[in-house]
């Protein structure tokens, strides 16, 4: 695993641009700092999200969020090459010859699929089992994504709640004759809105969308495994297997696949 450069660069760039924008307007970071606004906006949003999400999801939030900043290597050309080699071996020696290869596979999903084929399981049952597992993977991932999805909508909502509290404070002090109290109320009103928009658009939404994209990448890998496994079971020509699975690749990735020496 390596750091996801896009996530890090995007977050750092966003914070840097926002900070520069503050200075250009003649303000300082201290001018927009408000402990009460942080408590209302972020504290309230987190509390509401915890209520709406399973407790185990909140406990594993750090692990879930980490995936948005870590790039797992998705070697689709390598996976296709492996499946094509299995196809060649199965056609030469039979499906039972793959039994020795199963224990060497690192991916549990692919290992399960090949083992089902070796055991002589009906093709429709193999597809059903693997697709059910793939659906469950997507469902588990969506729970973690849902935590951040809730934050996307709750941050602006609690920012607006803070705005209303600030306006109430300002209205209560209109007759006091002290302009500073009116200014403090207006500051709370505006800063909480700023925090809600900032947290939703620069933190919660990008993390949620990055997690969704990574799930789609994983599901695409699993789909290739399913199609490759079923092609091996049906005894398709290795060249046909390769062409079928290559359709999942971009043109540049197909070039890398052709360079493996099998064409």
Q: Comparing C-alpha atoms, which of 158, 147, 165 is closest to residue 194?
A: 158
Q: Sign of the CA dihedral 187, 188, 194, 198?
A: positive
Distant-in-sequence contacts of 112-120, Cβ < 8 A, 24+ apart: 113/225, 113/226, 113/229, 114/86, 114/229, 114/232, 116/229, 117/229, 117/232, 117/233, 120/95
Any bridge partners for residue 2, and if so which? Answer: 71
Which tokens is 42 given?
A: 């972020």
Which tokens is 241 given?
A: 């297997």
Measured CA to CA, the distance from residue 108 to residue 102 in angstroms comes to: 10
DSSP for residue 120: T
Which tokens is 22 given?
A: 């503050």
Q: Residue 64 in contact with residue 144, Cβ under 8 Å? A: yes
Q: Residue 70 in contact with residue 62, Cβ under 8 Å? A: no
Q: How confident is the model at residue 211, as a pLDDT? A: 95
Residues of the chain where predicted confidence (pLDDT) is lower than 50: 261
pTM of the model: 0.84
Alpha-carbon 15 to chain mean position: 21
Q: How confident is the model at residue 87, as a pLDDT? A: 93
Q: Residue 184 in contact with residue 169, Cβ under 8 Å? A: yes
Residue 150 class from Cβ within 10 Å (0-12 exposed, 13-18 middle, 19+ buried)? Answer: buried
Q: How confident is the model at residue 119, as a pLDDT? A: 92
CB neighbours of residue 210 within 10 Å: 20
Q: How confident is the model at residue 168, as a pLDDT? A: 82
Which tokens is 36 given?
A: 């009460």
């Amino acid at each position: 695993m390596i750091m996801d450069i896009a996530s890090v660069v995007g977050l750092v760039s966003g914070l840097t641009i926002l900070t520069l924008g503050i200075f250009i307007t003649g303000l300082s970071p201290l001018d927009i700092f408000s402990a009460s606004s942080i408590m209302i906006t972020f504290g309230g949003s987190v509390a509401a999200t915890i209520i709406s999400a399973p407790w185990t999801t909140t406990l594993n939030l750090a692990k879930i969020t980490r995936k948005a900043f870590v790039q797992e290597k998705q070697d689709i050309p390598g996976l296709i090459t492996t499946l094509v080699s299995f196809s060649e071996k199965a056609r030469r020696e039979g499906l039972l010859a793959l039994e020795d290869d199963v224990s060497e596979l690192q991916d549990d999903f692919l290992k399960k699929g090949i083992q089902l084929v070796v055991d002589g399981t009906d093709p429709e049952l193999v597809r059903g089992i693997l697709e059910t597992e793939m659906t469950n993977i997507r469902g588990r991932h969506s729970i973690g994504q849902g935590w951040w999805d809730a934050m996307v909508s709750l941050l602006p909502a609690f920012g607006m709640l803070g705005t209303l509290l600030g306006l109430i404070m300002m209205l209560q002090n209109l007759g006091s004759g002290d302009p500073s109290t009116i200014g403090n109320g207006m500051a709370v009103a505006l800063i909480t809105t700023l925090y809600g928009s900032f947290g939703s658009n620069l933190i919660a939404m990008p993390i949620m969308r990055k997690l969704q994209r990574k799930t789609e990448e994983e599901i695409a890998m699993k789909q290739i495994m399913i199609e490759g496994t079923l092609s091996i079971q049906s005894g398709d020509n290795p060249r046909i297997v390769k062409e079928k699975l290559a359709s999942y690749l971009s043109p540049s990735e197909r070039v890398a696949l052709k360079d493996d020496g099998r064409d």
